[in-house]
Amino acid sequence: MLNNLSRITVLSLACAAALGLSLQASAEVRHARGGNTSDGQTTHWHVTRANNGNGEQVGHGAKTVHDSATGTTTRTRASYAKSANGGTVKHGANTQYNSDGSVTHTGSTGITGPNGGTATGQNSYTKNADGSADYSRTVSGTTAQGTDFSHTKDMSKSSPDGTRSGTSQTSVTGANGGSYNSTTTATGTGTMTRDSSATTKNGGTYTGTTTYTKGQGVTHTGTCTDAQGNTVTCPTHN
């Protein structure tokens, strides 16, 4: 099962590397695995941990349970990494595969940077037996400099035509007072609209809407004001 590490686990370990974690070849590595069958359920599990003695650690554990009576298989995973300078990454996930083809999944991730920045994320996914599906994701955090950010995304796929629709929201508040907010909505009819607003730390503002329609292209409108509230020409990008 060690050959089937989840993509999120790999991402967590990559984040650990970004935090400055670099376990040496002499690191102590411990691994255990096992399994049992009881009351119609078959369980397999494994745990791996590496520690180089300087405060750097990487760990991963996974458990798979198959219930023969219901035909469900449940996989639970957890990963953890810590760098010598105090940065940490934690991730956990649970996925259940049902006999009718439906799937449910939840996951969460937490990151703490060595300089004080933090980020958390949650996601969930449901695939129904008829092929329809729902997905949601939330990410939020604060940088070491004090900028706050958040992002949410919700998507759905209908059955049987597979039409997709969804919304997303992004918000950023700068440490020096500037801010940005946007909401994007996509429909199954081929239209996507994004409403955005921003305020500079000096009080200037921007408000705009961008719309894409399949077969028609993109339209955009926007308004800008200076710190005194006077309408001004919006900056353009070449």
Peptide bond into 114 cis (omega under 30): no
Residues 6+ apart with CB under 8 A from 157: 131, 132, 133, 134, 163, 164
The Cα-based distances of 46 to 27, 38, 62, 67, 88 in angstroms read 19, 18, 6, 19, 22
pLDDT score of 238: 60
**pLDDT mean for each 10 residues of the chain (238 residues):** 37 43 63 94 96 89 96 97 93 98 98 95 96 96 97 92 93 95 94 97 96 95 96 83
pLDDT score of 6: 39
Q: Given the structure tokens 């255990």, which residue do they identify?
A: 32
For 79-102, give one letter per residue: b (16+ CB within 10 A) or e.
bbbbbeeebbbbbbbebbbbeeeb
pLDDT score of 237: 66
> How far is Cα 38 from Cα 40, in angstroms, rounded to an integer?
5
The answer to whether residues 150 and 171 touch, using CB atoms and an 8 Å cutoff, is yes
pLDDT score of 38: 93
